[in-house]
Amino acid sequence: MKALVYRGVGDIRLEEVPRPALQGPEEAIVKVTTSSICGSDLHIVHGHLGVEPGTIVGHEFTGVVEEVGPAVAGVKPGDRVLGAAGVWCGQCPACRSNLSIACKHLGIYGCGPMFGSLQGAQAEYIRVPFANVTLEKIPDGLTEEQVLFVGDILSTAYMGAEGITPGGPGIQPGSTVAVFGAGPVGLCAVAAARLFGPARIISVDMVDYRLEMAARLGADRVINAAREDPAAAITEITGGWGADFVIEAIGSTEAFTVCLSVVAPGGTVSAIGVFQQPVELPIHLLLAKNIGVKMGLANLIHMKRLIGLIQAGKLDLTPIITHRLPLAEVVRGYEIFEKKLDGCVKVLLKP
Amino acid sequence: MKALVYRGVGDIRLEEVPRPALQGPEEAIVKVTTSSICGSDLHIVHGHLGVEPGTIVGHEFTGVVEEVGPAVAGVKPGDRVLGAAGVWCGQCPACRSNLSIACKHLGIYGCGPMFGSLQGAQAEYIRVPFANVTLEKIPDGLTEEQVLFVGDILSTAYMGAEGITPGGPGIQPGSTVAVFGAGPVGLCAVAAARLFGPARIISVDMVDYRLEMAARLGADRVINAAREDPAAAITEITGGWGADFVIEAIGSTEAFTVCLSVVAPGGTVSAIGVFQQPVELPIHLLLAKNIGVKMGLANLIHMKRLIGLIQAGKLDLTPIITHRLPLAEVVRGYEIFEKKLDGCVKVLLKP
Amino acid sequence: MKALVYRGVGDIRLEEVPRPALQGPEEAIVKVTTSSICGSDLHIVHGHLGVEPGTIVGHEFTGVVEEVGPAVAGVKPGDRVLGAAGVWCGQCPACRSNLSIACKHLGIYGCGPMFGSLQGAQAEYIRVPFANVTLEKIPDGLTEEQVLFVGDILSTAYMGAEGITPGGPGIQPGSTVAVFGAGPVGLCAVAAARLFGPARIISVDMVDYRLEMAARLGADRVINAAREDPAAAITEITGGWGADFVIEAIGSTEAFTVCLSVVAPGGTVSAIGVFQQPVELPIHLLLAKNIGVKMGLANLIHMKRLIGLIQAGKLDLTPIITHRLPLAEVVRGYEIFEKKLDGCVKVLLKP
Amino acid sequence: MKALVYRGVGDIRLEEVPRPALQGPEEAIVKVTTSSICGSDLHIVHGHLGVEPGTIVGHEFTGVVEEVGPAVAGVKPGDRVLGAAGVWCGQCPACRSNLSIACKHLGIYGCGPMFGSLQGAQAEYIRVPFANVTLEKIPDGLTEEQVLFVGDILSTAYMGAEGITPGGPGIQPGSTVAVFGAGPVGLCAVAAARLFGPARIISVDMVDYRLEMAARLGADRVINAAREDPAAAITEITGGWGADFVIEAIGSTEAFTVCLSVVAPGGTVSAIGVFQQPVELPIHLLLAKNIGVKMGLANLIHMKRLIGLIQAGKLDLTPIITHRLPLAEVVRGYEIFEKKLDGCVKVLLKP
What gap in Å lies between CA A9 and CA C238, rounded to an integer?
A: 50
Q: Do C91 and B71 touch (CB under 8 A)?
A: no
Tell me the pLDDT tens digit for each residue of A16-72: 999 999 999 999 999 999 999 999 999 999 999 899 999 999 999 999 999 999 989
Compute the nearest-CA separation of D264 from chain C (Å).
9
Nearest in space to C271 (alpha carbons), one of C189, C194, C206? C189
| Domains of chain B with bracketed CATH | 2-151+299-350 (3.90.180.10), 156-295 (3.40.50.720)
pLDDT for C343 equals 97
pLDDT for D93 equals 82
Q: Do D91 and A132 touch (CB under 8 A)?
A: yes
Asked whether B124 and B3 are in contact (CB, 8 A), the reply is yes
Q: Do D93 and A132 touch (CB under 8 A)?
A: no
For C113, list phi and psi in degrees, rounded to 5: -65, -25
DSSP E strands, chain B: 2-8, 11-16, 28-36, 55-56, 61-68, 80-83, 86-87, 107-108, 125-128, 135-137, 176-180, 200-205, 221-224, 243-248, 263-271, 279-281, 291-295, 321-326, 346-350
Tell me the pLDDT tens digit for each residue of D179-222: 999 999 999 999 999 999 999 999 999 999 999 999 999 999 99
Across D337-341, average pLDDT: 97
The band of B309, judged by pLDDT with boundaries at 50, 70 and 90, is very high
User: A169 vs A99, A162, A163, A267, B165, CA distance in Å?
Assistant: 17, 7, 5, 9, 8
pLDDT for B288 equals 85
The pLDDT of residue D301 is above 90: no
Chain C residues within an 8 Å CB radius of A308: 174, 199
Q: How many CB atoms lie within 10 A of CB D342?
A: 9
The band of B166, judged by pLDDT with boundaries at 50, 70 and 90, is confident
Give the CA angle between residues B323, B212, B342 to the nearest 5°: 30
Q: Which residue of B has its CA nearest to A97?
A: B266
D221-224 and D263-271 beta bridge pairing: unpaired
What gap in Å lies between CA C203 and CA C205, rounded to an integer?
A: 7
Q: Do A311 and C174 touch (CB under 8 A)?
A: no
Q: Which residue of B has its CA nearest to D221?
A: B312
Q: Which of D284, D297, D300 to mutate to test the interface with C (most CBs of C within 10 A)?
A: D284
Q: Which of D140, D201, D244, D305 to mutate to test the interface with B (most CBs of B within 10 A)?
A: D305
A69-73, A159-163, A312-316, B266-270: least confidently modelled range? A69-73
Q: Do D309 and B174 touch (CB under 8 A)?
A: yes
| % of chain C with per-residue pLDDT over 70 | 100
The pLDDT of residue D92 is above 90: no
pLDDT for D250 equals 97
pLDDT for A130 equals 96
pLDDT for A198 equals 98
DSSP-assigned letters across all residues of C264-284:
EEEEEEEE-S--SS-EEE-HH
pLDDT for B93 equals 82
pLDDT for B231 equals 98
Q: Do C133 and B74 touch (CB under 8 A)?
A: no
Compute the nearest-CA separation of C163 from chain B (Å).
15
Q: Which residue of D has its CA nearest to B307?
A: D174
Q: Do B314 and D197 touch (CB under 8 A)?
A: yes
Q: At what angle do helices A208-217 and A184-194 cross, to 10 degrees?
A: 20
Across D57-75, average pLDDT: 96
- Rounded to the nearest 10 degrees, how much is the dihedral formed by the CA atoms of D135, D140, D142, D148? 10
Across B303-318, average pLDDT: 97
Q: Which of B281, B291, B297, B301 to mutate to test the interface with A (most CBs of A within 10 A)?
A: B281
Is A155 strand, coil or helix?
Answer: helix
Asked whether C333 and C37 are in contact (CB, 8 A), the reply is yes
Nearest in space to D60 (alpha carbons), one of D17, D126, D121? D121
pLDDT for C53 equals 97
Give the CA angle between residues B113, A292, A226 to the nearest 5°: 85
CB nearest D93 (choices: A93, A96, A304): A304
Q: Do B165 and A165 touch (CB under 8 A)?
A: no
Q: Do D132 and A91 touch (CB under 8 A)?
A: yes
Tell me the pLDDT tens digit for each residue of D125-164: 999 999 999 999 999 999 999 999 999 999 999 999 999 9
The pLDDT of residue C39 is above 90: yes
**Secondary structure string (H, E, C) spanning D19-60:** CCCCCCCCCEEEEEEEEECCHHHHHHHCCCCCCCCCEECCCC
A221-225, A227-231, A293-297: least confidently modelled range? A293-297
Compute the nearest-CA separation of C74 from chain B (Å).
9
Residues of D with CB under 8 A from a CB of B: 158, 173-174, 194-200, 220, 302, 305-306, 308-309, 311-312, 314
Chain B residues within an 8 Å CB radius of C301: 96
Q: Do A309 and C196 touch (CB under 8 A)?
A: no
What gap in Å lies between CA B115 and CA A244, rounded to an integer?
A: 23
Chain B residues within an 8 Å CB radius of C306: none
DSSP E strands, A279-319: 279-281, 291-295
Q: Do D74 and A90 touch (CB under 8 A)?
A: no
CB nearest B308 (choices: D194, D199, D220): D199
Tell me the pLDDT tens digit for each residue of B2-48: 999 999 999 999 999 999 999 999 999 999 999 999 999 999 999 99
Chain A residues within an 8 Å CB radius of C196: 173, 196-197
Q: Which chains touch D (3 or more CB pairs under 8 A)?
A: A, B, C
CB nearest C71 (choices: B71, B133, B301): B71
For B350, list phi and psi in degrees, rounded to 5: -120, 105
Chain B residues within an 8 Å CB radius of A49: none
Q: Count of A–C CB contacts within 8 Å?
A: 53
Residues of D with CB under 8 A from a CB of A: 25, 71, 73-74, 90-91, 93, 96, 132-133, 301, 304
Q: Do A167 and B166 touch (CB under 8 A)?
A: no
C80 beta partners: C64
Q: Do C168 and D164 touch (CB under 8 A)?
A: no
pLDDT for D167 equals 81
Across A163-168, average pLDDT: 87
Tell me the pLDDT tens digit for each residue of C73-114: 889 999 999 999 999 998 888 888 888 889 999 999 999 999
Q: How many CB atoms lie within 10 A of CB C135?
A: 26
Q: Do D91 and A74 touch (CB under 8 A)?
A: yes
The pLDDT of residue B302 is above 90: no
Residues of B with CB under 8 A from a CB of C: 25, 71, 73-74, 90-91, 93, 96, 132-133, 301, 304
Across C14-27, average pLDDT: 97
Q: Which chains touch C (3 or more CB pairs under 8 A)?
A: A, B, D
